[in-house]
Amino acid sequence: MQDRTDPDALLTPSEVAEMFRVNPKTVTRWARAGKISAIRTLGGHRRFRAIEIMRYLEQIESEQGL
């Protein structure tokens, strides 16, 4: 597991799901729907840029007034 505070880090769907407290399948659906962008590895697995995930998390928290 990489350091999530590193803006260049690539996170797995499970790591992103843990940050949002959702199921990893939900993260995959968000990526398919275009809510968050994903990078595909050579093996076809999704990875997410930590900086983009942190921004999205901040956006959601500000919308919910947390």
Q: What is the pLDDT of residues 16-29, one digit of tens each?
A: 999 999 999 999 99
* Three state DSSP letters for the chain: CCCCCCCCCEECHHHHHHHHCCCHHHHHHHHHHCCCCCEECCCCCEEEEHHHHHHHHHHHHHHHCC
pLDDT at 7 over 80: no
Cα(13)–Cα(44) distance, integer angstroms: 13
- Looking at domain 10-64, its CATH architecture is Orthogonal Bundle (1.10)
pLDDT tens-place string over residues 35-61: 999 999 999 999 999 999 999 999 988
Residue 29's pLDDT is: 97
pLDDT band of residue 6 (cuts 50, 70, 90) is: confident
Rounded to two decimals, the pTM is: 0.81
pLDDT at 65 over 80: no
Q: For the chain, first and last CA: distance in Å?
A: 27
